[in-house]
Amino acid sequence: MEYFIGVNVFTLSRLRIPGQAGYLTKHIIKQSSRVRGEFSQKMSFGSYQTPEQSNSGPPNSGSDLGNSLLVEKIVDEIMRKGPIDFAKFMEMVLYDPAHGYYESYGPIGWKGDFYTSEDLHSVYGEMLGEQLIEASELIVGNGPVTIVEMGPGRGVLCRDILAFLERRVPKVRSNLRYVLVERSARMIERQRELLQPFLSAGWSVSWCSGIDTFFPQGFTGVIFSNELIDAFPVHRIIVRNGVIKECFVSYEDERFVEREDDPSGAVTDYVQRFIHEQDIVLEEGVRAEVNLNAIDWMKSVARVLKKGIVMTIDYGYPAYELYDSKRSHGTLLCYARHRVSDDPYVGVGHQDMTAHVDFTALATVGEERGLAVTGFTNQQSFLLGLGVAEKTTASNEELIARLIHPNGLGRTHKVLIQHTGIPCPSLAGLKYRPFFDSSLFSKGGKYASG
């Protein structure tokens, strides 16, 4: 294990990999001159976008609320029950089975509204494949293993991982069961189409809508997710006169508006436990998100994994950074056609919504349920530890540089690895640490900004 303050172009030059480090250094320096413009939009909060696409503002005019059928459905909910909490609003916008963004709109990738690390280059899947191989060997040796990918999107990451395994360790096919957790019928159809060559070749790939019902007795293996938690519906809170208020969504004068009221008991408990008990003080007027779904997800993961590793990759921070006063407006953002907006009440159903992940909350809940923290790092350090520099060629150098750029995906995206039922494993992806693991639980444990 090596602790150091980030990874920069000078660190790359010390990797002693002739040629490859030079490629990455050149392109990181080349991108640095334009990085403030590009990465301050989506890259700072997730995926990369090109300069010509990084225009701020909502995807529609202020008078266009979005998908009329979805808007009608949400308005009907409000008229029947009164103002709804923001988590309910966000859930309907993204996941409504008939008209939600991910079901009826939701273009993902270069030609869509946003793209993620897996869309940049297949080397990202290859690096995850390397980590999965190492982790599986530590968990079961040469025995059968189950890999569970939660929130697989279009199936691109699964495709790239299986293609890598086919080339690298083809014999693993007979011992590997790959399970994709997906509740969208539309996305499952797309995933099946993309993965058909592997299904035809005899790879054991299956789908389920939830891990609790699919693994009633639990299982041994690896659970991983890539940019899943940030898309969970969140509650929104704000401090008024020193008191926490929750933001609710109403419909007035033919538009959605926010109304503040006392928070629910669950939100109050979350604030007390994961904010106040972390000695974090939210200043007057500060907005923040409360992700109750992330807590439930972590509990579910801990229930079903009897022996193995959990790997969570997403953009976010430890609590003391996430709720810092410099993020006084919270982290909720919307994306459409590679444009960023902070207005979730226009373009409803036509734009994605995300919020940064509280990794302290995930680690705390995991620890309480037997998932010990193996390590916490950022994407840059994670990929370099797995040997991404050795994969660099003249044809992919710029894309790989984007994956690890210190002012972009390389540092906004964090990797939390947890384990249960095995001794604390030594993993290549955790070779480099830009901060101590204790930074998850206290500001005093922070070694360097990630």
Q: Where are the alpha helices (DSSP H) in 291-445?
A: 292-304, 319-322, 359-368, 379-385, 397-404, 409-412
Instruction: Collapse the DSSP code of 339 into the 3-class scheme (helix H, G, I; strand E, B; otherwise coil) and give the result.
Output: strand
Mean pLDDT (the chain) is: 84
User: What pLDDT score does 242 carry?
Assistant: 95
pLDDT at 8 over 80: no
Report the greatest alpha carbon distance in the chain: 66
Give the relative orientation of helices 68-81 and 86-95 as an angle to the nearest 10 degrees: 150
Highest mean pLDDT among 9-18, 20-29, 115-124, 391-400: 391-400
Report the alpha-carbon distance of residue 351 to residue 333 in Å, rounded: 10
To the nearest whole percent, how much of the chain has pLDDT over 70? 81
Report the alpha-carbon distance of residue 238 to residue 173 in Å, rounded: 51
Q: Which two tokens stand for residue 366?
A: 């995991």
Domain boundaries of the chain, sorted by first residue: 2-119+286-445
Q: Please spell the DSSP secondary structure of 16-62, one letter per residue.
A: --TTHHHHHHHHHHHHHTTHHHHHTTTGGGSS---GGG--BS-SS-T
Quick: pLDDT tens for 53-105.
334 444 443 347 899 999 999 999 999 999 999 999 999 999 999 999 988 75
Rounded to an integer, the average pLDDT of 408-430 is: 95
pLDDT at 51 over 90: no
Report the alpha-carbon distance of residue 274 to residue 287 in Å, rounded: 15
User: What pLDDT score does 442 carry?
Assistant: 66
Q: Which two tokens stand for residue 312?
A: 């969570």
Task: Tell me the pTM.
Answer: 0.85
Closest to 246 measured CA to CA, from 206, 283, 287 = 287
User: What pLDDT score does 185 carry?
Assistant: 86
Determine contact, residues 41/340, Cβ cutoff 8 Å.
yes
User: What pLDDT score does 134 carry?
Assistant: 97
Q: Is the dihedral of CA 66, 70, 74, 76 positive or negative?
A: positive
Quick: pLDDT tens for 120-170.
889 999 999 999 999 999 999 989 999 999 999 999 999 999 999 999 999
Quick: pLDDT tens for 357-373.
999 999 999 999 999 99
